[in-house]
Amino acid sequence: MRRRAWDLGIELRFVSGSGAAGRITHADLDAYAAQQLPSGRAAAPGAAYAERHGEEAVPVIGLRRKIAQKMQESKRRIPHFTYVEEIDVTELEALRARLNETRGAARGRLTVLPFLMRAMVLALREFPQMNARYDDEAGVLTRYGAVHMGIATQTENGLMVPVLRHAEARDLWSCAAEVLRLAEAARSGKAAREELSGSTITITSLGAVGGLVSTPVINHPEVAIVGVNRMVLRPMIRGGAVVARQMMNLSSSFDHRVVDGLHAAEFVQALRGYLECPGTLFVE
């Protein structure tokens, strides 16, 4: 008995015995391990290994159900092709820090997202087939001149995609302010219906918990989504020397029915070119 109590991390002096003359039985140990200890006492180390048998049925209803159905429809209809590329954002981060230092107080602070949006606007001029929606029932691919950028946003009710209209006509600060406004509207439940529909391509980012690689699900009926992974400082070789560089992966998915793998790769490489040489973001 003492050996089993030791294995479970239970102090016998806290256990009430139900056996003859108050003797502690194996059943008493099992019952104690399955219960919370009295308030104010720290859990015994072995209690973390006690068996648990509870279960909870959580109905998937309302908005959460609609999100689940949309995700299922996207994966059912679209053969996803995911392409991952490593981006050196050292120069971009230096520029971003400088702009925040000199203009942040007056115009607002910039995250990486507005720079990526600008890079996407420029790359989409070269690859307009990515800025499109595919009606697979009619067999029609519609390409758009306007870049209506979906911004995947996590809310208490699940994933929502508010839409930043005409990204091609906005500068960095306008993009940043609109992303912030849309995210707050989505999380507070105040986003209008028209703000949650009509995107032509989507960005998704998990920020600091973005991991190294992801496989984003396309926002049906769009044909492309660009995923932002976590930024990390890594040792890289430049000019024959090992140097510290800020690196970030882009994980992007495409509808393989209408987007060829080569063109998808070329599109992401175009994004890489703009982001690794951020001065080109402002050259028409």
User: For each of the chain's 284 residues, which pLDDT tens digit applies?
Assistant: 677 776 667 777 778 788 776 778 888 877 877 764 444 455 555 556 778 777 888 888 888 888 889 899 999 999 999 999 999 999 999 999 999 999 999 999 999 999 999 999 999 999 999 999 999 999 999 999 999 999 999 888 788 999 999 999 999 999 999 999 999 999 999 999 999 999 999 999 987 777 889 999 999 999 999 999 999 999 999 999 999 999 999 999 999 999 999 999 999 999 999 999 999 999 87
pLDDT at 40: 47
CB neighbour class for 174 (10 Å; exposed up to 12, middle 13-18, buried from 19)? middle
Q: Please tell me whether residues 139 and 43 are part of one structural domain.
A: no
Count CA within 13 A, CB hemisphere, residue 261: 6
Q: Please tell me whether residues 30 and 118 are part of one structural domain.
A: no
Catalytic entry in 7, 135, 171, 260: 260
Residue 54 lies in a domain: no
**Residue found by looking up tokens 């609109």 in the block:** 178
Q: Which domain holds residue 101?
A: 62-282
Residue 55 lies in a domain: no
Catalytic entry in 80, 166, 256, 263: 256
Residue 70 lies in a domain: yes
Gap between the Cα atoms of 152 and 160, Å rounded: 6
Buried b (16+ CB within 10 A) or exposed e, 74-95: beeebeebbbbeebbbbebbeb
pLDDT at 104: 95
Sign, CA dihedral 240-242-248-251, equals positive
Q: Please tell me whether residues 124 and 230 are part of one structural domain.
A: yes
Q: Please tell me whether residues 43 and 72 are part of one structural domain.
A: no
Distance of alpha carbon 279 from its chain centroid, rounded? 27
Residue 7 lies in a domain: yes
Distance of alpha carbon 176 from its chain centroid, rounded? 18
Q: Please tell me whether residues 37 and 94 are part of one structural domain.
A: no
Strand-strand pairing, 153-155 and 224-238: unpaired
Q: Please tell me whether residues 41 and 103 are part of one structural domain.
A: no
What one-character DSSP code corresponds to residue 98?
Answer: H
Q: Please tell me whether residues 22 and 151 are part of one structural domain.
A: no
Q: Where are the alpha helices (DSSP H) in 134-238?
A: 172-188
pLDDT at 37: 45
Q: Please tell me whether residues 79 and 104 are part of one structural domain.
A: yes
Gap between the Cα atoms of 17 and 25, Å rounded: 7
CATH of the domain at 129: 3.30.559.10
Gap between the Cα atoms of 171 and 203, Å rounded: 17
Residue 57 lies in a domain: no
Total count of domains within the chain? 2
Residue 56 lies in a domain: no
Residue 113 lies in a domain: yes
Least Cα distance to 94 among 77, 73, 115, 65 occurs for 115
* 171 is annotated as an active-site residue: no
Q: Please tell me whether residues 75 and 215 are part of one structural domain.
A: yes
> The pTM is what?
0.80
Q: Please tell me whether residues 17 and 98 are part of one structural domain.
A: no
What one-character DSSP code corresponds to residue 222?
Answer: B
Q: Please tell me whether residues 271 and 159 are part of one structural domain.
A: yes
Residue 160: phi and psi, rounded to 5, are -125, 155
CATH of the domain at 26: 4.10.320
* 260 is annotated as an active-site residue: yes
